[in-house]
Amino acid sequence: MSTVNFLAQEKIWFDKPRYDEAERRFYERMNVCFHGFLFRRVLHSCCVLLTLYGSGPVSLVVDDLRAALSKLECRVTVLEKSPAAANPASLKEEDDEDDDDIDLFGSDDDEEAEKLKEQRLKEYAEKKAKKPTLIAKSSILLDVKPWDDETDMAKLEECVRSVQADGLLWGTSKLVPVGYGIKKLQIACVVEDDKVGTDMLEEEITKFEDYVQSVDVAAFNKI
């Protein structure tokens, strides 16, 4: 490992990031100018459309859209301005305005970092787009509790498994002793995050009220 240490302390490569940085900046500036132009055109046409449909029953939606648009517009303005002499005061204002959305935080990074971030995000989005999107799934372990020690647990399990839904897959199960002869059914299932919720599971399972007293989530994990 000492060879590695030696390399790490060597100064040959230390200048490389600086060149990379310079190159990146150059392209970044070109990008921003170009995209800014396109962006404006799109925004403009959207605005025209909005004014055309700006009244009537859809006006609420339109208002939202408009707000979103104006935000975008601000963003573009900032982006266009920043390569040139940036005006920190106005930028700060934009930033605050940005804060109004549902996000839980504001961001107070300075403009330089902001720009860098945009760039990296874009690259990330590109990379991401190439990757096949995975369906988010979770594994849930449910405890299904009977009414007493005489409840037919086999029948109970049958009921639970009869619950069907798109994106729901029942897994293995076992009976876990609780105490005083009572057993609970512990059953695993895999759900697609966007399709099946725990509320729905709970609701459907507790519908078998002759067998089921309650349902608890024992474990909930990402797959």
Partner 1 sequence: MGKEKTHVNVVIIGHVDSGKSTTTGHLVYKCGGIDQRRLEKFEKAAAQMGKTSFKFAWVLDKLKAERERGITIDISLLKFNTQKYTMTIIDAPGHRDFIKNMITGTSQADVALLVVSAAKGEFEAGVSRSGQTREHALLAYTLGVKQIIVCVNKMDLTEPPYSQKRFEEVVRGVSGFLRKIGYDTTAVPFVPVSGWTGENMITATQKMPWFQGWKVRRREGTACGRTLLEVLDSIHPPIRTINKPLRLPLQDVYKIGGVGTVPVGKIETGVLKPGMTLMFSPAKLTAEVKSIEMHHQGLQTALPGHNVGFNIKNVAVKNLRRGDVAGNAQQDPPSDVSSFEAQVIILNHPGKIKSGYSPVLDCHTAHVTCRFAELKEKLDRRTGKKLEDNPQVLMSGDAATVKLVPIKPMCVESFFTYPPLGRFAARDLKQTVAVGVIKTVVKDQTSKPPQKAQVCK
**Least Å from the CB of residue 161 to partner 1:** 12
**Residues sharing a CB contact under 8 Å with residue 198, sequence separation 6 or more, in sequence order:** 140, 217, 220
Q: Does residue 65 belong to the site contacting partner 1 (CB under 8 A)?
A: no
**Residue from 51, 59, 107, 162 in contact with partner 1 (CB under 8 A):** 107
**Least Å from the CB of residue 185 to partner 1:** 11
Q: Does residue 164 belong to the site contacting partner 1 (CB under 8 A)?
A: no
Element (H, E) at 214: strand 214-222
Angle at 40 between CA 38 and CA 123, to 5 degrees: 50
Residue closer to partner 1 (CB basis): 84 or 125: 125
Please state, in angstroms and rounded to a whole number, the distance separating the CA atoms of residues 212 and 156. Answer: 7
Residue closer to partner 1 (CB basis): 47 or 192: 192
**Least Å from the CB of residue 149 to partner 1:** 5
Please state, in angstroms and rounded to a whole number, the distance separating the CA atoms of residues 66 and 62. Answer: 6
Distance of CA 80 to the CA centre of its chain: 28
End-to-end CA distance of the chain: 37
Q: Could you tell me the two tokens for 213?
A: 């007293």
**Residue from 48, 52, 85, 125 in contact with partner 1 (CB under 8 A):** 125
Binding positions for partner 1, rule: CB under 8 A: 1, 4-5, 8-9, 13, 16-17, 20, 101-107, 109, 117, 120-125, 127-128, 136-139, 141, 145, 147-150, 169-174, 176-182, 186-191, 193, 197-199, 213-214, 216-223
